[in-house]
Structure 1
Amino acid sequence: MSKVVLITGASSGIGHAIATFLANKNYKVYGTSRKPDNVNSLNFNLIPLDVLKKDTIEAAISFILEKEQQLDVLINNAGMGITGPVEETPTAEIRTVFETNFFGVIEVMKSALPQMRKQKSGLIINITSIAGYMGLPFRGLYSATKSALEIVTEAVSMEVKEFGIQVVNVAPGDFATNIAAGRYHTPVFENSAYKKKYQENLNLMDAHVSSGMNPLKMAEKIHEIMETKQPKVHYKVGGFMEKFSIVLKRVLPDRVYEKIIMNHYKM
């Protein structure tokens, strides 16, 4: 039987690339979107799910189990970006990004785990970010959500291992997707003390995404992990310098590393 895969946030970007790739590999793929009726020409099933609404999570998983009687792989990809100086970013928006990138993922895992325990098998892949390994100027809040998810992934991996369930995370770097359009951008206020540097960094972020890697690379890595009997807990998918920056953070003094990051972002 084909493995049944649930991918959140599959209407565009990395999620769409993963869903399309896995469907072509003959997996039974259920992608999710908050508004699935707005998406056309797919080779996989697209069903409604909003990670901020627990009833839609439970309804989506119940629908899949009614159709397939199994759930083999959960890929938590849905998320949102946020930019801005911490001082000027509205607290309500900070809470929303944590609800989406962190608490929402936990709710989906909570809803999927009972079936995986019943099966005595399953794989959960949480999509985090290389940005989660470091604090980046004007992206610190986004980095914090992904860093928190990395740590929880480590904990859940140990908690569910006895049930035959594997939990991993995959941290992408910059990919050529429409993520910038879906970010919450704190406005560049005219009288802001951060105006010049923040605007320059917004321009730099958009340039990085536009020149990013093909999302197909993420799809290929996800497939490779799914075909691995004993996957690692942490994976990084990105350019050499993106991955090397994590190594540098481990070995360099804090202030030296901070200076490198500030130079890179023209701070």
Structure 2
Amino acid sequence: MSKTVFITGASSGIGKSIAMYLYNKGYAVVGTSRNPNKVEVPFQMVALDVTNQETIRTAIAEAIEKVGKIDVLINNAGKGITGPIEDTPTDEMKENFNTNFFGVIDVIKEVLPYMREQKGGLIINTTSIAAYMGLPFRGIYSASKGALELVTEALSMEVKQFGINVVNVAPGDFATNIAAGRYHTPVFENSAYKEKYAENLALMDTHVDSGADPIIMAKAIHQIIGNKTPKIHYKVGGFMEKFSIVLKRILPDKVYEKLLMNHYKL
């Protein structure tokens, strides 16, 4: 019997690329979207909003009914957010954490009892290269993804006894529509950060538009699923994106900060 995969946020971008790739490799795929009826894909889709626990319960139950089990959970659904910390509404910060952090945890909580019962499973959390460093004007996004990286480490140790593996996959910039779905704090006329934030907002969108093909991420996920003893942390991106994490480990804080500030023209 082929492995079954449940993936959140499968209607577009990286999630859709992963779901399509695994489907074409013979996996039984169930994807999710808040509005699955608007999505035309060959794999099965169910309705799920990671900020709504009732839809999570219903979607997981529906997926089990459709494919019988969940061997692999891929928490891909996420939301971007940009803005100076001082200017960004706190409610928007909380909403970002509800999607990128608490929503992921709620999906995991719902799937774990099924995986324990079947005595095994794999949970893959999509984080970000940005999770490894506090990036200017993306601090809340970095924080939500960084928090997920750490929770994954803890969860990995807690569920190992049940034959369940938990891993993070941190992508760099990929050519997707994530920029369109971000919450962008407005460039306020009276903001102390107006000029620098406006410059960096354009720079961020350029990075996404010129990003790599999401199929690279799909292939990486496929390899991880095929690994019987996966690592906890994976990074998928360009050389400099991954090397930036290495530099943070070996350089003094102030030197690394200066490099980032030069990059972002601060």
Question: What TM-score, normalized by structure 2, do the two folds share?
Answer: 0.99
What is the aligned partner in structure 2 of residue 264 from structure 1?
A: 263
Q: Which amino acid aligns with 2:173?
A: D
User: How big is each residue's C-alpha offset from its partner over 1:83-108, in whole Å with a ceiling of 9 and x where there is no partner?
Assistant: 00000100100000000000000000
Q: How many angstroms apart in 2 are the aligned matches of 1:204 and 1:166?
A: 37
| Alignment RMSD | 0.5
Q: Which amino acid aligns with 1:97?
A: N
Whether 2:44 is the aligned partner of 1:45: answer: yes
Deviation at 1:7, TM superposition (A): 0.3
Deviation at 1:239, TM superposition (A): 0.4
Deviation at 1:70, TM superposition (A): 1.1
User: How big is each residue's C-alpha offset from its partner over 1:4-36, in whole Å with a ceiling of 9 and x where there is no partner?
Assistant: 100000000000000000000000000000011
What is the aligned partner in structure 2 of residue 89 from structure 1?
A: 88
Q: Which amino acid aligns with 2:73?
A: L
User: How big is each residue's C-alpha offset from its partner over 1:66-121, in whole Å with a ceiling of 9 and x where there is no partner?
Assistant: 22221100000001000000001001000000000000000000000000000001
Whether 2:12 is the aligned partner of 1:12: answer: yes
What is the aligned partner in structure 2 of residue 104 from structure 1?
A: 103
Whether 2:146 is the aligned partner of 1:135: answer: no
Q: Secondary structure at the match of 1:88?
A: coil
What is the aligned partner in structure 1 of residue 156 from structure 2?
A: 157
Deviation at 1:46, TM superposition (A): 1.2
Q: Which amino acid aligns with 2:226?
A: E
**Cα pair 2:174 2:210 within 8 Å, conserved:** yes
1:87-236 pair list within 5 angstroms: 87-236=86-235
What is the aligned partner in structure 2 of residue 66 from structure 1?
A: 65
Q: Which amino acid aligns with 2:144?
A: T
Q: How many angstroms apart in 1 are the aligned matches of 2:14 and 2:65?
A: 27
Deviation at 1:156, TM superposition (A): 0.4
Q: How many angstroms apart in 2 are the aligned matches of 1:36 and 1:142?
A: 26
Q: Structure 2 unaligned runs (5+)?
A: none
Q: Secondary structure at the match of 2:86?
A: helix
Q: How many residues align?
A: 266
Q: How many angstroms apart in 1 are the aligned matches of 2:42 and 2:54?
A: 26
Q: Which amino acid aligns with 2:37?
A: D
Q: How many angstroms apart in 2 are the aligned matches of 1:182 and 1:70?
A: 31
Q: Secondary structure at the match of 2:222?
A: helix
What is the aligned partner in structure 2 of residue 35 from structure 1?
A: 35
Q: How many angstroms apart in 2 are the aligned matches of 1:167 and 1:89?
A: 32
Q: How many angstroms apart in 1 are the aligned matches of 2:33 and 2:204?
A: 25
Q: How many angstroms apart in 2 are the aligned matches of 1:38 and 1:69?
A: 25
What is the aligned partner in structure 1 of residue 248 from structure 2?
A: 249
Deviation at 1:39, TM superposition (A): 1.3
User: How big is each residue's C-alpha offset from its partner over 1:172-213, in whole Å with a ceiling of 9 and x where there is no partner?
Assistant: 000000000000000000111100000000010011001101
**Cα pair 2:11 2:39 within 8 Å, conserved:** yes
Q: Secondary structure at the match of 1:10?
A: coil
Q: Which amino acid aligns with 1:31?
A: G
Q: Structure 1 unaligned runs (5+)?
A: none
Q: How many angstroms apart in 1 are the aligned matches of 2:259 and 2:42?
A: 44
Deviation at 1:63, TM superposition (A): 0.8
Q: Which amino acid aligns with 2:251?
A: L
Deviation at 1:164, TM superposition (A): 0.4
Q: Secondary structure at the match of 1:123?
A: strand
Sequence identity (%): 70
Q: Secondary structure at the match of 1:87?
A: coil
Q: Which amino acid aligns with 2:201?
A: L
Q: How many angstroms apart in 2 are the aligned matches of 1:240 and 1:155?
A: 28
Question: What TM-score, normalized by structure 1, do the two folds share?
Answer: 0.99
Q: Which amino acid aligns with 1:177?
A: T
Q: How many angstroms apart in 1 are the aligned matches of 2:68 and 2:31?
A: 17
Q: How many angstroms apart in 2 are the aligned matches of 1:194 and 1:225?
A: 41
Q: Secondary structure at the match of 1:16?
A: helix
